[in-house]
Amino acid sequence: MIGRLNHVAIAVPNLAAAMAVYRDGLGATVSDPVPLTEHGVTVVFVELPNSKVELMEPLGDASPIASFLERNPGGGVHHICFEVSDIRAAVATLQAAGARAIGGGEPRTGAHGKPVVFLHPKDFLGTLIELEEA
């Protein structure tokens, strides 16, 4: 069902400092920040030869990563994203097997402008999983 690893997302308290870690410390190519108002985060993408790292900083008062950063003040891995060819079919299969999709499994438009669904970490070894149709 799942295909390529699309990205690993890391929640950070300070995006500029996080960008410097990857750009200056690790020598990676880092995109310009993109504010995603409807998702409550500002993101940059670290381009790797085989995948991406997404660095996310809270945006606005009701950011969905605010409580994560309260538990992990220095930042931490927030979710991993796998590509699927048909997101509705993938979610239907997983839900039929008992997995919980956040928001009922209705796809939303993600950071790359493609449909995404998040799966509950309690069903996937403590890891929040994002599926992206690609």
Scanning 63-71, 81-89, 94-102, 117-125 for contacts with Co ion by CB under 5 A, the matching segment is 81-89
Instruction: Clarify whether 70 is annotated catalytic.
Output: no
- Give me 85's structure tokens: 């060819």
Residues of span 27-46 touching Co ion by CB under 5 A: none
Residue 104 DSSP code? G
Q: Smaller CB distance to Co ion: residue 43 or 94?
A: 43
Q: How far is the CB of 54 from Co ion (least distance, A)?
A: 5
Tokens 């940059």, residue? 44
Beta bridge partners of 35: 42
9-17, 28-36, 91-99, 117-125 -> range binding Co ion (CB under 5 A): 9-17
Residue 33's contacts (CB-CB under 8 Å, 6 or more residues apart) are: 15, 19, 42, 43, 44, 57
CB 132 within 8 A of CB 83: yes
The pair phi, psi for residue 122, each rounded to 5°, is -70, -20
E strand or H helix at 82:
strand 76-84
Stretch that binds Co ion, among 6-14, 18-26, 66-74, 83-91 (CB under 5 A): 6-14
Query: From the list 41, 84, 105, 130, which residue makes contact with Co ion (rule: CB under 5 A)?
Result: 130
10 binds Co ion (CB under 5 A): no
Number of residues that bind Co ion (CB under 5 A): 3
For Co ion, the closer of residues 130 and 133 by Cβ is 130
**Residues labelled catalytic:** 130
